[in-house]
Structure 1
Amino acid sequence: MMFRSRFLAAALASLLTVLASGLGPAARAQTDPLPSWNDGAAKQAILAFVKQTTDQASPTFVPPAERIATFDQDGTLWVEHPLYTQIVYCLEQVPALVRQKPELAGVEPFKTVLSGDREAMGKLSDEDLLKLLSMTLTGVSVDQFRAGARQWLETARHPRWKRPYTDLTYLPMQELMKYLRASGYKTYIVTGGGQDFVRAYAEATYGIPVEQVVGTAAATKYGYDKDGKPFLTKEPRLLLNDNDAGKPEGIYLMIGRRPHAAFGNSTGDRQMLEYTTAGNGARLGMLVLHDDAVREYAYGPAQGLPDSRVGTFTQALYDEAKAKGWTVISMKSDWKRIFSFEP
């Protein structure tokens, strides 16, 4: 009996030691915060940046309140081809919109969308797309819009992978955001996409709360329902075009601090990276280059990749990145895995 008691006491002491350390055996063995990244310049740049800005002995230490990291979404955090997800959402709202307003059936671009001709839809002008966005994203209460967007995301499937769009987030970027948050950084989405649309799923998909989403924003109008309950209606009036120069403008307006790290993938992110890396101290600017046609898509036209209207990454942007010390992330070379569902 005495031997048994001593054995139990020793086992309990060992367990308490493990618990006190805060790590079990599996966790202790897994010390790499970025396991889906290949060892290389991109991964080392991230690790070095975090060490430089979180070590109090470092001359480039960043106080916790100033640790801000901003991420573009489409093409940076999840798949943006063959069309931006929000564009797909808007196209699929057109039939319901036309049922409410039959006079739109013979009017462009609604006529083209109703035809189902994907090739013709791919040729719609920016003006046509803006008209579609305006008509399908406004005129409802903010609560109705959020509920509708969430419902669509539950049933919509990407044409290539036949999976929900929210499954198509990049595992290496998910790891990066978690690593930054564990290091005291606040992670923000700064996107040219609709702010309300991204807010409908950002927290569940990325762990980023709605107040840390900055996007293209339309006006809202305050009113009352028949029972006197107040609500907000989405209005067809643009408040912020959060793309190109609108990104640093939106960051200042909504965040109020210059980021220390910024991540993008296209010409629409150029000014955000310029603004971020122009600050004092350690700064990190990174761009995702889609160069893996087998596991995802390949487009540029930087480095001789196919040109693309969606997520354009020009050679001029690539050259600027090299000149200014921004890191270009190669999907093909830098990422071991792209999606969590990959073996």
Structure 2
Amino acid sequence: MSPATSGSSLPSWNDGATKQSILNFVADVTREGSPDFVPPADRIATFDNDGTLWVEHPMYTQLAFALDRVKAMTPMHPEWKDTQPFKAALEGDMKTLAETGEHGLIALLMATHPGMTAIEFQKIVVDWIATARDPHFKRPYIELAYQPMLELLAFLRTNGFKTFIVSGGGIEFIRPWAERVYGVPPEQVVGSSIKTEFQMRDGRPELFRLPEVHFVNDNAGKPVGINQYIGRRPVAAFGNSDGDLEMLQWTTMADGRRLGLIVHHTDAEREHAYDRDTSFGRLDKALDAAAMHKWTVVDMKNDWKRIFAFD
């Protein structure tokens, strides 16, 4: 049995139509002589991060990072105690914070992420990810990667795919730990970014992070980011929310065999259950589009034997 047809590579997936759709796709595009054969150079698979590879409830992990940065920096900014969205962040008022929308999130990021070198920011991220705990599971965030998706990443690479993370999250927030957690090296991470400029500081060359948005790699930005950073159209795309809709459309609405897959959060006991009515990871338009385009929809409760490595 070839690696592409062996379900033993996906032990945390229950046998059924969902798992079989993945096995069939990989077998068809990797078998020489198959009408659906895809040369190794074109075997590009893109994965959203939050909600697809690891948890995104009760909030995006990078938002948790930004909230901790606000608390750490408040002594230097006493005005934040009476200014939104910082006031809500300090008080843990997630309802008010969610109501500030993208504008509020960007305000938090612009206040806490720039004003330092890229190396300094990387150290802050590495130190935080090593000690921060998810408020629901009380575990390090890096332990909350979905075991079935880790197996899928490895399975695709075994079959000649190059796997990329394509996230609305910050590219320099994800890169420091992505290889250790997902096996995805920094150069295969595509994400949102702020402006950075080269500066000589005390005779040393540095990349300095500026308080300006450079690129938002979400929604319609994802296909643009894929084109700019990867340069090849994916043949497989994996997401979980409306923020991944355009990436899934760009990947699957093209000639040749394609795979689009959506992780549907249906397991309130082992993780979280949500879709159309949520502030983080809303799955509404993309869920409707999945039926139209025949994308594979993972029912987390029924399709996954376990969700985390510690289950």
Which of the five TM-score ranges fits, normalised by the shorter chain? over 0.9
Q: 1:156 aligns with which of 111, 114, 132?
A: 132
Q: 1:46 to 1:341 in 2, by over 3 A?
A: same
Contact 1:172 1:337 in 2 (8 A): yes
Q: 1:106 aligns with which of 82, 86, 89?
A: 82
1:80 and 1:207 map into 2 onto residues whose CA distance is 20
Q: 1:313 aligns with which of 271, 283, 303?
A: 283
Residue 285 of structure 1 aligns with an amino acid whose one-letter code is G
Unaligned runs of 5+ in 1: 1-29, 302-306
Q: Which has the larger radius of gyration?
A: 1
1:299 and 1:31 map into 2 onto residues whose CA distance is 28
Corresponding residue number in structure 2 for 1:39: 15
1:293 and 1:57 map into 2 onto residues whose CA distance is 44
CA-based RMSD: 1.4
CA-CA distance at 1:240 after TM superposition: 1.4
Corresponding residue number in structure 2 for 1:271: 246
| Offset from partner CA, 1:29-76 (integer Å, 9 cap, x none) | x96111100111111111011111111121111111111000000000
| Offset from partner CA, 1:129-152 (integer Å, 9 cap, x none) | 210011111111100111001101
Unaligned runs of 5+ in 2: 1-5
Q: 1:171 to 1:334 in 2, by over 3 A?
A: same
Which stretch shows the higher mean deviation, 93-102 or 154-163?
93-102
Contact 2:244 2:286 in 1 (8 A): no
Contact 2:58 2:136 in 1 (8 A): no
Using CA pairs below 8 Å that are at least 6 residues apart, which structure has the higher relative contact order? 2
Q: 1:53 to 1:320 in 2, by over 3 A?
A: same
Contact 2:223 2:250 in 1 (8 A): yes
Residue 271 of structure 1 aligns with an amino acid whose one-letter code is E
Corresponding residue number in structure 2 for 1:230: 205
SS in 2 for 1:138: coil
Residue 69 of structure 2 aligns with an amino acid whose one-letter code is Q
Residue 329 of structure 1 aligns with an amino acid whose one-letter code is V
Q: TM-score, normalised by structure 2?
A: 0.95
CA-CA distance at 1:119 after TM superposition: 4.7
Q: 1:189 aligns with which of 161, 165, 169?
A: 165
CA-CA distance at 1:224 after TM superposition: 1.4
| Offset from partner CA, 1:203-242 (integer Å, 9 cap, x none) | 111010000000011110111121x010001112222111
CA-CA distance at 1:110 after TM superposition: 1.7
| Offset from partner CA, 1:229-264 (integer Å, 9 cap, x none) | 100011122221111110000000000000000000
Contact 1:277 1:283 in 2 (8 A): yes
1:252 and 1:294 map into 2 onto residues whose CA distance is 39
CA-CA distance at 1:120 after TM superposition: 4.0
Corresponding residue number in structure 2 for 1:336: 305
Q: TM-score, normalised by structure 1?
A: 0.86
User: Number of aligned pairs?
Assistant: 306
The percent identity for this pair of structures is 49
Corresponding residue number in structure 2 for 1:12: none
Residue 212 of structure 1 aligns with an amino acid whose one-letter code is Q
| Offset from partner CA, 1:74-113 (integer Å, 9 cap, x none) | 0000010000000000011112322233343432222232
Contact 2:218 2:243 in 1 (8 A): yes
